[in-house]
A = this chain, B = another copy of it.
């Protein structure tokens, strides 16, 4: 045999920087190989060779430290489609993991932009006054000892004690608590602490007096998972943990996930297991942080959009991908956490908030609980901007809801140098009209930097908030016209002419990690226009239904929503015109809603009621949606006056300095002190 030819049926593959390795059958794609050894690679299209995000680099040579000889010919050759997507990066040895198959031993580097783990998690809990009235209660009782003459079982004697000492009647007992009862009673010398759920079920018993009942609120976002560990007695937030939704490996947007479940026999099972493992991991981290154990979590409340909700429950989300978008149920659910595979206290209940409609999920019900438009006189317009855009409008008389097909542009996908909110991402942009030279702020960098002062090779790309600001600033600086085109009259060294039209250089080659300039292209501006027009048109439809022209108050919610500059969002026309001091960024309101339902069982009844009461508007069937959408494509809008932006624009012209930025963000006090 030719000893140079790779002939191993299970070549060794090592992924850097993690160093995770494995022997994988030859012919496997590197994207699949990565999954198999537990490495996450960024992927939007889920391997359909359209997004070009799963860039990796094949290292060549002998690496004695890793005990591997890696060669380029140990993987399949580059296909024309792949080459098209890779462009200049092909010369740097880049490949797409999804279309590169394994033939022999290789050492693979995953560039920072392609790593999914480095996410900066922005979902932190907001301090809100919540009345603590949980579904979990603990009582301490002394139980009569058994006697030969009194042939009562341990559980009967405990029931008697609970009835006499606490007036509790008609109790059930979970089998997991029953299993421990004999030992616990004797260990506690006939005094025990009983954990009750909904006043009716004993879910755990502990020997002696033992203070402490805890709950976990979980927000299952399409991209990010956030978990809040709470003391159910005091309401105190003990720990916040967040991580990427591991399902992003199967596609970044909801429809890719639905499609993955439809096209793979084990797709649903895989994604369900994935999300359950992830929540278990979050729970583990949260209790570690608080010095507790997972069995100390006595209840969980979970929210998520409709697709996440179905996958969490192990229900095929297939129907959510096509009209009439039928859900399995709108009702809130109480399920033993163990039945979902969650490893909390063995008797713990998992409460899942109700859904509103095919595209408006339990996460939106969480937003309702947190923001309570239904309890206000003012007309409130709420944008929940995550990977999906959802809109609520109303007051105590009526609340309307809609879901808007924004697409993933706000998350950095479909943007030339777009990326998630990870280290090296440009998150803030200022372009003073006088100089038209950009000033940037990147994640992991506290200071605004102009070109000269910027640390070299630190920029990796641009994230959602950066893109919004960049486009709005380009518009305010006169570089972009209201229709989104680059102004042909404007000439500047930062403006390049490429194959695909003009582009503005935000960071030049010396500033970036890749050594390629980070630019905003005409295509990028178009993507942002489409996304913001969808949101705006959705809001306009609801306003029309509610018969109002302006909202009294606008709320930007969502992990991403809380980082949008309200001024820039308005300049862009993402939100309708409104006094700027009536625009609030509230952070992860969905997660806050889950926390509210966790801490207050009355709020669960309220959630059930409002979920049914809220009027869902299916934008897809509204005849005027298309018209509104087209009108909203312009910056800020082709028809609507934006009186408050005129003020902003003149302010912007007057004081284009560093200090103006601090007043741009109207934020409530956040519990993590940021």
Contact = CB atoms under 8 A, between A and B. Distances in A.
A156 B319 CA distance: 15
A206 B326 CA distance: 19
**Chain A interface, >50% SS class:** mixed
B148 A328 contact: no
Given A183-B316, A315-B182, A153 B324 contact: no
30 contacts: A147-B324, A148-B324, A148-B325, A148-B621, A151-B325, A151-B327, A151-B330, A151-B358, A151-B618, A153-B326, A153-B327, A153-B328, A153-B329, A153-B355, A154-B319, A154-B329, A173-B329, A175-B314, A175-B339, A178-B313, A178-B315, A178-B329, A178-B333, A179-B313, A182-B315, A182-B316, A182-B318, A182-B319, A183-B318, A338-B339
Interface string A150-188: 111111100000000000000001010011011100100
Contacts of A178: 313, 315, 328-329, 333
A147 B323 CA distance: 8
A120 interface: no
A327 B148 contact: no
Interface residues of A, number: 44
A335 B177 CA distance: 12
A216 interface: no
A615 to B, nearest CB: 10
Contacts of A175: 313-314, 333, 335, 339-340
A483 interface: no
Interface string A301-315: 000000000000111
Nearest to A148: B324
A410 interface: no
A232 interface: no
A15 interface: no
A182 B147 contact: no
Given A153-B330, A182-B318, 11 more contacts: A150-B324, A151-B358, A152-B330, A154-B319, A154-B327, A156-B330, A156-B331, A175-B339, A178-B315, A182-B326, A183-B318
A146 interface: yes
A630 to B, nearest CB: 23
Lowest 5 A-B CB distances belong to which pairs? A146-B326, A155-B329, A153-B329, A153-B327, A148-B324
